[in-house]
Structure 1
Amino acid sequence: MDKVSFSDNSVLASNRSLKSSTKSGNIVMQDGSETSDMSKVRNVDTTHSAEGMYENEPLLERDRLGKASHRNLGMVAPEPVSHSNAPVEDDFSDDDSELPRDPSDLLYSVRRDYRSFIHKSKTLLNIMIFVNTLWLVTTFISDFFFNINFLRSRITSFQDMTLIFVSIVANSLTLWFNKMGFYSTLDQFLNVILFSLTLFNLLINLLVTYIRQRIGLLGVCTYLWAAVTFAVSAVLDQNLLYFNTKFHPNNYADSEADNDDLSAHPNGPAHKGISNRHTITEWVSIGFRTTVKGVLLVFFVLFTMNNILFSLDSAITTKQIAQVSTEANAATYDAFHWADADHTYQIHLKCYGDVFSKDDSEENKQPIVLFEHGGADTAFLSGTWIQELYHLNRVHRYCVYERPGYGLSDSPPAPVSIAMMADALKHVLLKEAKIKGPFTTVGYDLGGLFTQVFTAKNIDLVESMLLVESWHPDLLLKNYISRLLPGDDSDDPEDYSKLPDEINRHNGFVIWWRGILSTFNIKLQTSWLLAHHGSKERIYGRDMMYQGKYLRVKLLESVTSSLLSYKDVLNSMENLKEVKVSVVSSNELIKKSAQWGNWQRELSKLSSKTQEWKIVDGGHQIYKYGLGKQQTQDVLLRLIDEKDKY
């Protein structure tokens, strides 16, 4: 046997012997013998191979149960070089020739895909957070400062902003903890639940006609976007689960068969030994994320309960209200009307008696009483004393309405002012409902300021004006600067503290916080669970103060009260000099606050034709006190029936 032939046979035998090596990695010749000449040839061949492979050559003498070397990760060990033209036998078939021949190749491929997944998911989540942040800022500006027509709905409250903020929180959690070590089946389950609850809330809103007509495209998109946020988190969690099964197959049920193979073949792939145990840092991170997601789940449960309740209340209270401007029968008129020519929002107007009649009968000579409710109620509460007069046939015709944001009226676009609301009411009465008057305007509490401005703007339509426990314009001032300066000797700090809560000036931040809480406030749930209040109480009555739509308009009123509304009231005073005016004040409130008495005295001097200033028995809410209510009714009857004294 010549030396070249012997070398070829030696290489072939060495290659076969390599595939059947033991765990220790020793290479043994098939015939069990090894001559010195063969050793020399093998050494020469090994030297020749090493010159071409350098560090890419697998370490044959190392135990392969340990961790794979980072130097040959993903590299395919080259075949031993043969100097013969004869084909070298191979255990791989033609179909398997392109598969990785080393388990580390598969591990490298999975890690490469994992790195690509992490990079792409971070990019996606950062884009979503940027869009959410931009959307949140734009919505905040549009809802509370400057109207952007395509970014508002007609029932704007704090829900949209809250949903967008929740989306930012969910995206941030997913971005921070989007790693295999932080994967949690519970978190994935919570994402699916939150996704389902978001779509369920959207479905509830779309089922009620009143809400469906007002929520707008933006409102629908807000719910859908929040749902997409949780869906993306769930999908990313599913991808993490996939990579976990690839890196740690022993921890999943799907790898049971592989585990059996591993027990039968101790020389399994090196990456099977990687542990899936969490570190303390990972457990803390998983606990933090799960806690936040749990809080979001509690929020969405309360949010859903309030949404269901509002949908039911809206469906019940709007069931018999006309959706278009059409004349109803002479006894009752109840409809929604557009507040401007651009059809921006609608106002709920309700009239009793024949407000459309144009004949000159004795009954129709009495002016239409137009009632303006207070700042923390609607005519459902504060207008009951006029309704009583109507049922007693002492008042023949009267109309009530809810200002924008109150009751069933739509949310107004920002900003708002008293003059804007007065113009909207005029458009509703004259252009939409075709009610021409004449009117006797009655303003209670904050509504007294709205009544003054409306009367001043429509002198030709108004015969007389009654102010019942009306606000003074000074209550619109916030006086931020004067609060920082030393007080005058004439200042009485007790005057403001003794005013009722509905009269006191509220801090805008307090209203803002209450608005955020309104999205999941338990008060609305206790109103029917414990207090057994009906739908009208939550829409019009005592529980209206917990509705987000109401709190939003109160915040708008607070923002512009010192800037716009105060000037509106001052500018209207000149036109009230020749209007018949009567003033009703509470004796209890005057006793509590001398300043309130001074303000009421100033209101009685608005006009040179003041009919009377009556101080009645009872508190600020005179409609709750029998004697005070009767005395107020008498003042109104004298105002609409008596002739001018002057």
Structure 2
Amino acid sequence: MSPKFWRSRAQGAQESDGGGEEDQGSNQASERGRRGGRGGGEPTERSRLLPREGYLDPDDPAVSPYNLWSVRALRSFTVLFLIINLVWWVLLLVSLFVSPPAMNSRGSGFFDFSFTTLTMGNLLIALIFFSVPSRPMTIWGASLALFLAVDLFIIVGVPRLRIEEGWVGIASVAWATVIALYLLVQTRLVARGKREEEERLTGREETRRPLREWLAVLIETVIMTVTVLVSILMMATLILRAKDASLPAPGKKYYVDNDKYQVHLNCVGQNQNSSTVLSDRSPTVLLEAGEMPVEHTFRTWVHEAYRNGSINRYCYWDRPGMAWSDNAPSPHSAGMSADVLSETLAKADEDGPWVVVSAGIGGIYSRIFASRHTRDVAGLMLIDAVHEDLLPEIGKPGRGFVLWLRGIFSPLGLDRLAGAIFKRRTREDRVYGKRAYQGGKFIKAKLQENLVADSTTKSEIASAKHIQSPDMRLVVISSGIEVRKSQRWADKQKDLTNITDNLVAWDVVKGAPHEVWQTDHGKALLGERLKKLIEQ
């Protein structure tokens, strides 16, 4: 071949080598560009996961909102809030049994515990489904925040609820509202971060979901639906409580125990002149409730005795947690309740002498009060009263657990709402009537009674038995039905007749239930015995 051909081929080879070098430089620059975020420089948070060629597969684990520091920070804040909420939840749980200083609630204490429990569940849901934000979660989160905000306005806006819940309840519902709003914002930010990462790493926003994400969305939707329904029920119960708070209390309410809470006392009849010698005064009947508030039919027969002139004056009060009285700090024993009654009577300028009338468990309370006021108590009337040997039955752990469970669910108000909507229950019925046992305050009082029945209260009644005045007049009325039903109950009723040496009468009312005054014969007999006790 000619030299001209070889020179031409060599020149082409050189040109070809030069082009190869240019292509290689171009490829290296392109790779540096991908590594440096398509703009050169060191890799950044948004560029370090990009492959050398093209985009990631949508199912690649690297396609995650956790790539963003802002999303990771949100998760850290959520964990922190969960820890704070758990500490507060434990404090509220403990306060149901032993009230820490400055944390005693004049209400039941179950509402603030429920709000905190709801918040903890909300935070756990947000953490479990953190990387799977969805539209239903956003909608239900907004609804939850709205209902919690309404709860906050109701508690703050109704004076009675504001007093009962106190700063603990207000702080709990405010915290629940703030956390609900925070989690709503979190869901939106995580969803946006997830979308940005999909567009950056896969080239487009992912519109399909794998099966596990669909299951996660379904589960979180069901859980959030239940959570919102719970918040709706709690809001409805608060509205019902606000309505009940408008029921005026007869008589007056007095601050007791260093102004920690208030109790209700009402006296009917002309007050005697305090200058009159104590021995010349006509006794005032003092009513102590049994298992239910004293206003619930118990005082009806006493009021009839007052109207027909058998008695001149009577007073009744609501133990802490019943009817119009606030709940006392925990623990609260029968002896503490007797001291509260003494303080209340002193503040009301009521001196006695007293004829104390009680029923059921109220017999324990009245006996302790009488033993501590031997000079002021002229007589004692026990109506199918509980004997101290039966206190272990009242203090059973199983009974306490059931009361605690009832209290935990009481903010939902399922029974109270159903009664108000379908049976037209009145506020009187809920405050001091037959349905008073459904209220959180009442349940808390019974739980407190249960916790110390077999310990502190048992010790207090044992002391009362030893210092009881033997000359105090005593009337014992027993239920014929209860006596026939249980020989043990019959024996204990007989034993009650021996607590003093001055037994006026012991009657077993045939056919009468535990609430003896519910039968005509029982009501008439009670009036006769009370009149006789007063006259003597």
3-state SS, counterpart of residue 79 of structure 2: helix
- What is the aligned counterpart of 1:447 among 341, 344, 362? 362
CA displacement, residues 40-75 of structure 1 (integer Å, 9 cap, x when unaligned) = 22334455677xx599346xxxxxxxxxxxx73735
Give the Cα–Cα distance (whole angstroms) in 1 for the partners of residues 224 and 13 of structure 2.
71
In structure 2, give the amino acid aligned to 1:422.
Answer: A
AA in 2 matched with 1:339: V
5+ residue gaps, structure 1: 1-33, 59-70, 79-99, 250-268, 322-332, 481-503
The range that moved more, 617-626 or 375-384, is 375-384
Instruction: Provide the rounded CA distance (Å) in 1 between the counterparts of 2:423 and 2:24.
Output: 93
2:248 corresponds to 1:334: no
Q: Which has the higher contact order (CA 8 A, sep 6+)?
A: 2
- Cross-structure match for 2:353: 438
Q: What residue ranges of structure 2 are gaps of 5+ in the alignment?
A: 1-10, 57-62
* CA distances 1:499-534 after superposition (whole Å, capped 9, x unpaired): xxxxx9961111111112211132102222233221
Matching residue of 2:20: 43
Q: TM-score, normalised by structure 2?
A: 0.88
Secondary structure of 1:239 counterpart: helix
**Deviation at 1:102?**
13
User: 1:293-338 CA deviation, whole Å, 9 max, x = no partner?
Assistant: 11111111111111111110111x13xx4xxxxxxxxxxx711101
**Change over 3 Å in CA distance of 1:103–1:565 after alignment to 2:** closer
Percent same amino acid at aligned positions?
22
Aligned residue for 2:60?
none
In the TM superposition, residue 355 of structure 1 has moved relative to its aligned partner by 3.0
Shift in Å, 1:224: 0.3
Aligned length in residues: 511
| 2:107 pairs with 1:215 | no
Amino acid at match of 1:305: A
1:144 aligns with 2:92: no
- Distance change >3 Å, CA 113–CA 187, structure 1 → 2: closer
Higher Rg:
1
The structure-2 alpha-carbon separation of the partners of 1:505 and 1:592, relative to structure 1 and needing over 3 Å to count, comes to farther
Q: Give the Cα–Cα distance (whole angstroms) in 1 for the partners of residues 444 and 494 of structure 2.
A: 33
1:570-625 CA-to-partner distances (Å, cap 9, x unmatched) read 11012222311111111121111111110110000110111111122311111211
Q: Which among 425, 429, 447 is matched to residue 537 of structure 1?
A: 429
For 2:125, the equivalent position in structure 1 comes to 173
1:56–1:77 contact (8 Å) kept in structure 2: no
| Alpha-carbon distance change, 111 to 166 in structure 1, aligned in 2, over 3 angstroms | closer
2:5 aligned residue: none
CA contact (8 A) 2:64 2:194 kept: no
More off after superposition, 350-359 vs 365-374: 350-359
Contact in 1 for aligned 2:269/2:312 (Cα 8 Å): yes
Deviation string 1:409-467 (CA, Å, 9 cap, x unpaired) is 1111011111110001100101x211111111111110011000000011122111111
Pair 1:587-2:480 in alignment: yes
Q: CA deviation at 1:382?
A: 1.9
Tell me by how many angstroms 1:153 deviates.
2.2
RMSD: 3.0
CA deviation map 1:272-292 (0-9, x unaligned): 345331111111111111111
One of 603, 607, 626 as aligned partner of 2:520: 626
- Whole-angstrom distance in 1 between the partners of 2:188 and 2:205: 21
Distance 1:73 1:610, change over 3 A: farther
Equivalence for 2:35: 72
CA contact (8 A) 2:244 2:430 kept: yes
Distance 1:112 1:514 in 2: 43
- 1:383 is matched with 299
SS of 2:286's partner is strand
Contact 1:247/1:272, CA 8 A, preserved across alignment: no
Q: Tell me which residue corresponds to 2:69.
A: 116
Residues 343 and 621 (structure 1), Cα distance of their counterparts in 2 relative to 1, 3 Å cut: same
Q: Residues of 2 paired with 1:170 and 1:602: CA distance?
A: 55
Offset, 1:244? 4.3
Q: Distance in 2 between matches of 1:310 and 1:446?
A: 27
Match of 2:225 among 278, 282, 294: 294
Q: What is the aligned counterpart of 1:159 among 107, 111, 132?
A: 111
**Within 5 Å, which residues of 2 pair with 1:361-440?**
365-430=281-346, 432-440=347-355
**Retained in 2: the 8 A contact 1:76–1:102?**
no
